[in-house]
């Protein structure tokens, strides 16, 4: 028997107390979506079903109680903390969903300098954790652009990555232990040990689950010594992306680990005003970080690798250092973006993928060509380009960036006219060339049609997890796993 | 109708940190490593002119748009961007000897008026203030030199039904003024939360603009020569060309340091705040 | 130095504009003598006049008014067109012809700025706008004004008289109005020049105040608020403690509060007795809006937020937590005075 909206709300109030159950219309609207549908919401259109309630969860046992209730009654849940997701993962697409807001769980539990660990609840803002750590000379090493706004729960649930990942790794390299609650109410805690071989690494069932398997309530990450005084920025302008990829590969393969390694194409560079300094060229940049000996050797090593490439001309690193320090997105930038979209009907998105070294340039060229040739509204695009920002021993990621004027369509039609088709072309070209369709933003709800193709035969393993942990399908339906 | 919009891109000051605000003996602050942007007044002016030109219905009442700046070669990027979004001409006045024009609205207005007189525009739109100097005077002085009326703190410009007039909305003390005016005229844009953003060219427009040329004019061609020693324009103009001399730059005084309330939790902090500071001040 | 202050009697902000001029004059620490007030008006001839502090060093009389011996005459000029700057300019040129001044001080608004600039040009003098400080100790006046987007202050020497200044906008005590019967006056009759470039003119007065500008206690919320929902809670707190609510740009642009509550360079500039800035980072553009408040309390989770540079008292913490606690204290005090005893245990 399906409960009505009012019944759901009443039950939740009984479990949590009424002050924790929000049914204010504006709040419900805001919690029905994430940044994927930002366009329509700026015009006050909310095409996604509005959830029945947003519940403010204060502790793990509350999470357990609520999930048990939702599971018994087959009510869809969406886990949410900072709300900065970009792929629709937070959309409440099932009628009468319940949004589980973990942001009240905002305590930094412990900072442990001996074991180099920091433990935080899921609602802790990463920026605040970083500030606390830096006061003591430490850092998480995790610095996504959403740092001022994102919370630990979401950052782990989406397998996020930060700007300094080339040195510090991504979230999965940083998480030591976790606490998570499963749909049946089971509270599980993974202890903090440096490494073990006690069966498969079960942390990876939780990291990246995007709320489709469990609810993350607490996270312990390792911390690093912070040496900002040794930072060395290096930058060059060059003619070809292909050369840039080649250099990135050489840097990684030769064993250097700059914390930041990026390659911008001309169009994307213009968006960052690089053309004011580099003209119409690609820009390649690195940041060497760490203790003095390492930072110096890294910088020198990279410079030596770039030197023989005649097309690479050095750029003043002061420019890049200044630009980089203003990259993060806080409330001020989001408000300005909103204003610009509302006034000019002009909007931009990104779709980011990954690929091995031998196919990344192919993916870059094929995806852009495909859009140029096949996208029916190419004339509305004002910008189409990309950059690489996370490199590995075996390959790198690629951000495709595209801006357009929204013409002749209703706010809710924007995603079907522009966003979805552009997205689809990039994903298709990436999968065709052997890359992965999502590097770190998460599958969300809009790439699920390719989930099976992405995983191939290994989808068997992924599906097994869903069957085991969420047989009733109440965990963020439509995310990661395609709706059957 | 021939419209000229004047602009001067400036460094994005929000990206300068406290330690970057230092200057040399010439009182110049190094902003070479910061990107340059349009200021909000000029952005509104540039977009407003584009909107106006889009309202031409017949060939007879077409609007010709010129974007005008006083700058070295760095200005070309911005002019090309404006050519891409629909400006007919992008013009850059280059002063041969690179004088310090930060605090000299008299010189700026002289250069602009010389160009306008030569080209015969009907309307000049500028931003309320900008550049490093924030002088706020170039528009007024331009009106004086051209002998045209001017309206300041403009927020909106639209065409009147009789197509040779404009309807100008501007801010005055205590209200808003809507005037229907004849040309020629100098309009000086103010800024509000409603102000428009400059549109962005689409890919095709950017490609087409690659072929367009920026027009560069030297101050000598305009019949003036700026002496960098004195910043005086050497012409036979009777008026002085610089009415103020820069003596010093200073960082605004940092006030006495803030007293922080310590407290273990919000309750303690709030209680201390009330007991020690608010109780005596609140009108209870 | 022969000085005249130019003001517009019908301006709704006359008291504030005069206050701004007084703020600048009071920093001069000199007395003027034989100073003049040139007052433009439309329709009704003024019977009360803004009090200008020409002689701050003379101090106050027993009845509280200033012993302003410095003001020698008020010249009253009737205007037909109050919104056409050319009509003022022609009058000013005429007055300067007859009564040449060395220093003219104009108010901070757009009209004042325009007249200062254009008049100086016509008379081959010097002009400067947004003047924060004036120094008349040397032969040529020195002025201070903000430059580089309000990040620096520049000092200039003005080269040629007449020196026409428009003062900086700043929060200040509004000037009083005085009867001024004892002051000599000269009245200039209405004169109707024609202005053929204006075909039609409509004036739309501003909507009445929210009361924010005049409130003694203001609570300003910034980007630390993070959601409309929190905003509503804080509006409730503001009501309880009796504060008017203001906001910084990110809050207004997210449509969490009305635009007319924006504080800062593009919005309101206020000077309440108490200003609590909660969750506001405090950039230059914003702090212009509150820096002249009598007492500023800043609450921010980031101890390095620039707002602490202009605040008197700082609390590093979560704004909602602190404000909720403050609300409890103030509410308790209102309900039962004297009851809000410290709940902190003394150790």
Residues, chain A, total? 484
Nearest-CA distance A135 → chain B (Å):
17
Burial of residue C279 (CB within 10 Å: 0-12, 13-18, 19+) is buried
Is A125 found in the same domain as A201?
A: yes
| Residue A342 contacts C, CB cutoff 8 Å | no
Position with higher pLDDT, A408 vs C226: A408
CATH of the domain at A368: 3.30.300.330
Cβ atoms of C138 and C1 closer than 8 Å: no
Chains that touch B (3 or more CB pairs under 8 A): A, C
CA-closest candidate to residue A100, choices A18, A217, A19, A10? A217
Instruction: Report the residue of chain A nearest C304, measured CA to CA.
Output: A131
The C-alpha atoms of residue A459 and residue C289 are separated, in whole angstroms, by: 58
Q: Do the chains contact at A27 and C228, CB–CB below 8 Å?
A: yes
Is A260 found in the same domain as A196?
A: no
* Bridge partners (DSSP) listed for residue B89: B66
Which residues neighbour A201 within 8 Å (Cβ) at sequence distance 6 or greater?
none
At residue C140 the predicted structure's pLDDT band, cuts being 50, 70 and 90, is very high
At residue C345 the predicted structure's pLDDT band, cuts being 50, 70 and 90, is very low
Q: Which of B36, B193, B200 sits opposite A403 (nearest CB)?
A: B200
Q: For residue B175, which residues of chain C lie inside 8 Å, CB to CB?
A: 203-206
Taking residues C265-289, what's their average pLDDT?
82
Is residue B98 predicted with pLDDT exceeding 80?
Answer: no
At residue B245 the predicted structure's pLDDT band, cuts being 50, 70 and 90, is confident
Least confident stretch, A123-132, B38-47, B118-127, C257-266:
C257-266
The C-alpha atoms of residue C232 and residue B66 are separated, in whole angstroms, by: 48
Q: What is the DSSP string of B62-131?
A: --EEEEEEE-SGGGHHHHHHHHHHT-SEEEEEE-TT----TT-HHHHHHHHHHHHHHHT-SEEEEESS-T
Is A221 found in the same domain as A234?
A: no
The C-alpha atoms of residue B61 and residue B57 are separated, in whole angstroms, by: 7
Of the residues C221, C227, C304, the best mutation for testing chain A's interface (the one with the most A CB atoms within 10 Å of its CB) is C227
The C-alpha atoms of residue A446 and residue C289 are separated, in whole angstroms, by: 44
Q: Which of C226, C232, C250 sits opposite A332 (nearest CB)?
A: C250
State percent of chain B over pLDDT 90. 53
CATH of the domain at A218: 3.30.465.10
Instruction: Report the residue of chain C nearest B128, measured CA to CA.
Output: C110
Q: For residue B33, which residues of chain A lie inside 8 Å, CB to CB?
A: 316, 318-319, 322
Q: Do the chains contact at B199 and A344, CB–CB below 8 Å?
A: yes
ipTM: 0.89
| Residue B195 contacts C, CB cutoff 8 Å | no
Is A170 found in the same domain as A96?
A: no
Q: Which of A22, A24, A331 sits opposite C223 (nearest CB)?
A: A331
How many domains does chain A contain in total? 4
Instruction: Report the residue of chain A nearest B78, measured CA to CA.
Output: A276
pTM of the model: 0.87
Is A433 found in the same domain as A347?
A: yes
The C-alpha atoms of residue A280 and residue A300 are separated, in whole angstroms, by: 27
Residue A210 covered by a domain: yes
Which residues neighbour A431 within 8 Å (Cβ) at sequence distance 6 or greater?
A437, A450, A453, A454
Q: Do the chains contact at A330 and C253, CB–CB below 8 Å?
A: no
Q: Do the chains contact at B200 and A326, CB–CB below 8 Å?
A: no
Cβ atoms of A76 and A476 closer than 8 Å: yes
Residue C8 backbone class (left: φ over 0; alpha: ψ -120 to 50; beta: rest): beta
Highest mean pLDDT among B225-234, C102-111, C294-303: C102-111
CATH of the domain at A276: 3.30.70.3450
Q: For residue B172, which residues of chain C lie inside 8 Å, CB to CB?
A: 83, 109-111, 203
- Spell out the domain ranges in chain B: 2-234
Cβ atoms of C177 and B151 closer than 8 Å: no
Q: C-alpha C221: how far from its chain's center? A: 22
Q: Do the chains contact at B140 and C150, CB–CB below 8 Å?
A: no
Is residue C65 predicted with pLDDT exceeding 70?
Answer: no
Is A448 found in the same domain as A338?
A: yes
Is residue C223 predicted with pLDDT exceeding 90?
Answer: no
Stretch 9-38 of chain C: residues touching chain A, C-beta under 8 Å:
none
Q: What is the DSSP string of C102-141?
A: SEEEE-SSHHHHHHHHHHHHHTT-EEEEEE-EEE-SSSS-
Is residue C344 predicted with pLDDT exceeding 60?
Answer: no
Q: For residue B201, which residues of chain A lie inside 8 Å, CB to CB?
A: 382
* Bridge partners (DSSP) listed for residue C104: C4, C164
Q: Which of C229, C254, C301 sits opposite A338 (nearest CB)?
A: C254
Cβ atoms of C225 and C231 closer than 8 Å: yes
Is A340 found in the same domain as A306?
A: no
Q: Which of A324, A348, A375 is the last residue of a domain?
A: A324
Is A71 found in the same domain as A139?
A: no
Residue A425 covered by a domain: yes
Is A129 found in the same domain as A93?
A: no
At residue C272 the predicted structure's pLDDT band, cuts being 50, 70 and 90, is confident
At residue C88 the predicted structure's pLDDT band, cuts being 50, 70 and 90, is very high
Is A427 found in the same domain as A369?
A: yes
| Residue A332 contacts C, CB cutoff 8 Å | yes
CA atoms within 13 A on the CB side of C133: 15
Highest mean pLDDT among A421-435, B103-117, C306-320: A421-435
User: How does strand A117-121 pair with strand B36-37?
Assistant: unpaired
pLDDT for residue B283: 64
Residue A480 covered by a domain: no
Q: Do the chains contact at A331 and C301, CB–CB below 8 Å?
A: no
Is A163 found in the same domain as A220?
A: yes
* Cis peptide leading into residue B184 (ω within 30°): yes
3 state SS of A159: coil
Burial of residue A376 (CB within 10 Å: 0-12, 13-18, 19+) is exposed
CATH number of B2-234: 3.40.50.620
3 state SS of C319: helix
Q: Which of A69, A103, A137 is the last residue of a domain?
A: A103
Averaged pLDDT, groups of 10, chain A, 484 residues long: 90 93 88 92 92 95 97 96 92 96 93 97 94 93 91 96 94 97 97 96 96 98 93 97 97 96 97 95 96 96 98 96 87 80 93 97 97 96 96 96 95 94 96 96 94 96 97 96 90
Count how many pairs of residues, chain B against chain C, have C-beta atoms within 8 Å.
260
Nearest-CA distance C275 → chain B (Å):
11
CA-closest candidate to residue A262, choices A342, A194, A175, A323? A323
CA-closest candidate to residue A178, choices A134, A212, A208, A145? A208
CATH of the domain at A69: 3.30.43.10
Position with higher pLDDT, B235 vs A179: A179
- A444 DSSP 8-state letter: T
Nearest-CA distance B57 → chain C (Å):
23
Is residue C342 predicted with pLDDT exceeding 60?
Answer: no
Q: Which of A77, A103, A129 is the last residue of a domain?
A: A103
Cβ atoms of C320 and A56 closer than 8 Å: no
pLDDT for residue C318: 87
Nearest-CA distance B51 → chain C (Å):
22
Q: Which of C227, C254, C301 sits opposite A128 (nearest CB)?
A: C301
Give the structural domain span for A40. 5-103
Stretch 23-42 of chain B: residues touching chain A, C-beta under 8 Å:
33-37
Stretch 88-127 of chain B: residues touching chain A, C-beta under 8 Å:
none
Mean pLDDT for all residues in chain C: 85
pLDDT for residue A429: 97
pLDDT for residue B115: 95
Q: Which of C223, C249, C251 sits opposite A330 (nearest CB)?
A: C223
Q: For residue B204, which residues of chain A lie inside 8 Å, CB to CB?
A: 379
The C-alpha atoms of residue A178 and residue A191 are separated, in whole angstroms, by: 7
pLDDT for residue C166: 96
pLDDT for residue A329: 79
Q: Do the chains contact at A326 and B15, CB–CB below 8 Å?
A: yes
At residue C346 the predicted structure's pLDDT band, cuts being 50, 70 and 90, is very low
Cβ atoms of C2 and C104 closer than 8 Å: no
The C-alpha atoms of residue B236 and residue A50 are separated, in whole angstroms, by: 73
| Residue B203 contacts C, CB cutoff 8 Å | no
């Amino acid at each position: 028997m399906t409960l009505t909206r009012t019944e759901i709300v009443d039950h939740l109030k009984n479990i949590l107390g009424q002050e924790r159950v929000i049914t204010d219309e504006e709040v419900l609207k805001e919690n029905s979506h994430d940044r994927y549908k930002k366009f329509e919401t700026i015009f006050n259109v909310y095409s996604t079903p509005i959830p029945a309630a947003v519940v403010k969860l204060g502790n793990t046992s509350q999470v357990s109680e609520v999930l048990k209730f939702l599971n018994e009654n087959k009510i869809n849940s969406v886990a949410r903390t900072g709300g900065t997701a970009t792929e629709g993962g937070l959309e409440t697409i099932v009628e009468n969903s319940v949004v589980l807001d973990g942001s009240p769980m905002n305590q930094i539990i412990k900072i442990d300098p001996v074991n180099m660990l920091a433990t935080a609840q899921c609602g802790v803002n990463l920026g605040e954790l970083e500030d606390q750590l830096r006061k003591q000379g430490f850092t998480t090493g995790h610095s996504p652009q959403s740092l001022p706004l994102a919370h630990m729960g979401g950052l782990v649930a989406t397998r996020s990555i930060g700007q300094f990942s080339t040195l510090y790794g991504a979230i999965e390299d940083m998480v030591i232990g976790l606490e998570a609650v499963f749909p049946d109410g089971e509270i599980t805690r993974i202890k903090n040990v440096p490494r073990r071989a006690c069966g498969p690494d079960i942390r990876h069932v939780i990291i990246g689950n995007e709320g489709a398997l469990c609810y993350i309530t607490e996270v312990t990450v390792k911390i690093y010594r912070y040496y900002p005084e040794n930072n060395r920025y290096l930058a060059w302008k060059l003619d070809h992306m292909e050369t840039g990829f080649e250099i990135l590969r050489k840097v990684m393969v030769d064993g250097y680990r700059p914390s930041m390694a990026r390659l911008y194409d001309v169009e994307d560079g213009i968006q960052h005003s690089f053309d004011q300094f580099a003209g119409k060229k690609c820009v390649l940049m690195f940041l060497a970080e760490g203790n003095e000996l390492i930072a110096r050797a890294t910088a020198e090593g990279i410079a030596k690798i770039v030197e023989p490439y005649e097309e690479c001309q050095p750029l003043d690193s002061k420019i890049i250092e200044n630009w980089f320090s203003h990259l993060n997105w806080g409330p001020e930038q989001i408000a300005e973006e909103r204003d610009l979209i509302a006034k000019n009907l002009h909007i931009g998105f990104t779709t980011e993928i990954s690929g091995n070294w031998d196919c990344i340039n192919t993916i870059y060229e094929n995806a852009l060509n495909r859009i140029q040739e096949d996208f029916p509204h190419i004339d509305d695009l004002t910008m189409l380009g990309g950059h690489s920002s996370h490199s590995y021993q075996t390959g790198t990621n690629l951000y495709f960036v595209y801006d357009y004027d929204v013409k002749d369509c209703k706010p809710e039609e924007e995603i079907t006219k522009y966003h979805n088709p552009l997205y689809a072309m990039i994903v298709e070209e990436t999968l065709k060339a052997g890359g992965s369709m999502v590097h770190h933003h998460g599958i969300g709800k809009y790439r699920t049609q390719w989930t099976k193709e992405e995983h191939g035969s290994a989808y068997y393993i992924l599906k097994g997890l869903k069957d085991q942990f969420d047989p009733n399908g109440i965990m963020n339906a439509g995310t990661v796993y395609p709706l059957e | 109708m021939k419209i000229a919009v004047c602009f001067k891109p400036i460094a994005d000051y929000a990206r300068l940190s406290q330690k970057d605000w230092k200057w040399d003996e010439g009182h110049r602050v190094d902003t070479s490593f910061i990107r340059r942007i349009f200021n909000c007044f000029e952005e509104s002016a540039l977009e407003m002119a584009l909107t106006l030109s889009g309202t031409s219905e017949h060939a007879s009442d077409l609007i010709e748009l010129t974007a005008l700046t006083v700058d070295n070669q760095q200005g070309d990027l911005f002019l090309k961007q404006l050519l891409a979004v629909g400006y007919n001409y992008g013009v850059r006045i280059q002063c041969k000897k690179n004088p310090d024009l930060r605090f000299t609205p008299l010189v700026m207005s002289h250069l602009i008026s010389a160009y306008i007189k030569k080209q015969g525009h009907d309307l000049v739109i500028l931003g309320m203030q900008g550049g490093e100097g924030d002088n706020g005077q170039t528009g007024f002085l331009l009106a004086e030199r051209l002998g045209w009326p001017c309206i300041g703190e403009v927020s909106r410009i639209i065409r009147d039904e009789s197509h040779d007039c404009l309807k100008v909305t501007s801010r005055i003390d205590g209200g808003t003024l809507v005037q229907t005016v004849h040309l020629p005229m100098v309009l000086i844009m103010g800024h509000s939360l409603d102000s428009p953003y400059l549109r962005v060219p689409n890919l095709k427009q950017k490609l087409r603009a690659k072929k367009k040329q920026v027009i560069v004019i030297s101050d000598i061609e305009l019949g003036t020569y700026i002496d960098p020693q004195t910043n005086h324009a050497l012409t036979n103009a009777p008026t002085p060309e610089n009415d103020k001399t820069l003596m010093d730059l200073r960082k605004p005084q940092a006030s006495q340091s803030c007293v922080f309330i310590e407290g273990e939790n919000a309750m303690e902090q709030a209680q201390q705040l009330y007991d020690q500071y608010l109780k005596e001040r609140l009108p209870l | 130095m022969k000085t005249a202050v130019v003001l517009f009697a019908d301006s709704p902000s006359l008291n504030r504009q005069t206050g701004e001029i007084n703020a600048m004059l009071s920093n001069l620490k000199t007395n003027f003598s034989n100073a003049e007030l040139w007052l433009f008006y439309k329709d009704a001839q003024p019977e009360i006049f803004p009090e200008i502090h020409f002689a701050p060093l003379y101090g106050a009389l027993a009845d509280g008014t200033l012993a302003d011996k410095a003001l020698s005459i008020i010249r009253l000029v009737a205007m037909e067109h109050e919104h056409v700057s050319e009509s003022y300019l022609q009058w000013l040129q005429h007055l300067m012809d007859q009564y040449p001044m060395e220093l003219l001080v104009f108010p901070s608004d757009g009209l004042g700025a325009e007249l200062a600039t254009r008049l100086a040009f016509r008379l081959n003098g010097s002009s400067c706008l947004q003047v924060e400080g004036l120094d008349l100790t040397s032969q040529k006046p020195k002025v201070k004004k903000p430059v580089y987007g309000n990040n620096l202050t520049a000092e200039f020497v003005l080269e040629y008289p007449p020196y026409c200044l428009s003062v900086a906008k700043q929060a200040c005590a509004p000037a009083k109005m005085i009867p001024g019967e004892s002051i000599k006056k000269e009245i200039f009759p209405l004169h109707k020049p024609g202005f053929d470039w204006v075909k039609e003119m409509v004036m739309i007065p501003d909507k009445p105040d929210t009361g924010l500008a005049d409130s003694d206690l203001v609570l300003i919320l910034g980007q630390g608020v993070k959601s409309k929902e929190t905003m509503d809670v804080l509006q409730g707190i503001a009501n309880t403690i009796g504060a008017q609510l203001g906001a910084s740009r990110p809050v207004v642009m997210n449509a969490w509060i009305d635009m007319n509550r924006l504080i800062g360079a593009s919005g309101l500039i206020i000077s309440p007795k108490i200003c609590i800035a909660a969750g506001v980072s405090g950039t230059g553009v914003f702090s212009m809006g509150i820096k002249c408040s009598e007492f500023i309390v800043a609450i921010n989770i980031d101890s390095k937020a620039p707002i602490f540079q202009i605040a008197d008292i700082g609390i590093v913490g979560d704004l909602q937590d602190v404000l909720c606690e403050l609300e409890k204290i103030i509410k308790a005090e209102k309900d039962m005075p004297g009851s809000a005893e410290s709940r902190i245990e003394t150790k």
